[in-house]
Amino acid sequence: MNFAFRQVDVFGGDPCLGNPVAVLLDEEGLDDEMLRRFSVWSNLSECTFVLPPTVPGADYRVRIFSLNTELPFAGHPTLGTARAWLDAGGIPATPDVVVQECGAGLVPVRIDGDRLAFAAPERLRSGPVAPGMLADLIGILGIEPEQVVDAEWLDNGPGWVGLLLDSARTVLDLRPDASGYPGRWDIGVIGPHRPDSEAVFEVRAFFTEGEEPLREDPVTGSLNASVAEWLIATERATAPYLAAQGTAMGRQGRIYISGENGKLWVGGRAKVVLSGSADLE
């Protein structure tokens, strides 16, 4: 069976400096085992699989897989899937807005030239981080407690917990190690840049997959969405603002946060880099 395939660079300030996602279009006929197998084989942080919608108002349905699990929602896969669907000839029912159906419900994606933006979903978990867990997070990051300004649950699907640190430099200097801390970790770290910087905040995202060591995600839409909600609600930021991510990995992630009619939008460049078909017979 052959399936239309796109690989999309998402949130890159320049070509191939963002976060790639693999997209299989019209994937009806593949079972869950093949979806997981393809995701692992691609060796990307996420792959998505596009299906016909099952609810009114959606333009398509998407399933989002990381290397080891299926996610109800993820940010850069959402923008990458919308771009792949449009590139393959998809026409949204509402001009300039693609409506995606996923495990988190319906997610609108605005079209603005080569930039797309999704409406930030509500958090599934919020509130303070327990002292014991915060101590573990500080240990994993290898920082001093006084470098932590605040901590908050930022879970809108992938399970993020966030730490606001004292500066972008502290964030960029992190060399985390979770080897002495068993379990699954999804850690978002944020630090403010100097006032004369291009970006207002530097963001990094660290996560574990199964028993593997802690990894870093280049650019993370879901995390930036919940970070924006948190920072704006606590009056540490105002929309619009620009966040940078991936700097420590040699990437150039640029995430545009904006607000309109009570909604937060998370946007960035989404460009198809590879186009073709996948033969899964």
Contact 253, 259 (CB under 8 A): no
Q: What percent of the chain has pLDDT above 90?
A: 84
Same CATH topology for 2-118+266-279 and 131-260: the answer is yes
* 80: nearest Cα among 6, 3, 8: 8
pLDDT band per the 50, 70, 90 thresholds, residue 55: very high
Euclidean distance between CA atoms 48 and 27, whole angstroms: 10
In the predicted model, what is the mean pLDDT of the chain? 94
Q: What is the pLDDT of residues 147-188, one digit of tens each?
A: 999 999 999 888 899 999 999 999 999 999 999 999 889 999
Residue indicated by tokens 């970790």: 185
The verdict on whether 46 is a catalytic residue reads: yes
- CATH class of the domain at 2-118+266-279: alpha beta
Euclidean distance between CA atoms 22 and 52, whole angstroms: 18
Q: What is the pLDDT of residues 190-226, one digit of tens each?
A: 999 999 999 999 999 999 876 778 999 999 999 999 9
Euclidean distance between CA atoms 138 and 144, whole angstroms: 7
Does pTM surpass 0.85?
yes
Identified catalytic residue from 27, 46, 101, 229:
46
Pick the CATH number of 131-260 from 3.10.310.10, 1.20.120.340, 2.40.30.10, 3.90.1150.30: 3.10.310.10
Residue 171 has a pLDDT of 98
Domain boundaries, the chain: 2-118+266-279, 131-260
Contact 13, 269 (CB under 8 A): yes
Residue 255 has pLDDT above 90, yes or no: yes
Q: How far is CA 48 from the centre of its chain?
A: 13
Q: Which secondary-structure segment (H or E) carries 79?
A: helix 75-87
Euclidean distance between CA atoms 260 and 24, whole angstroms: 32
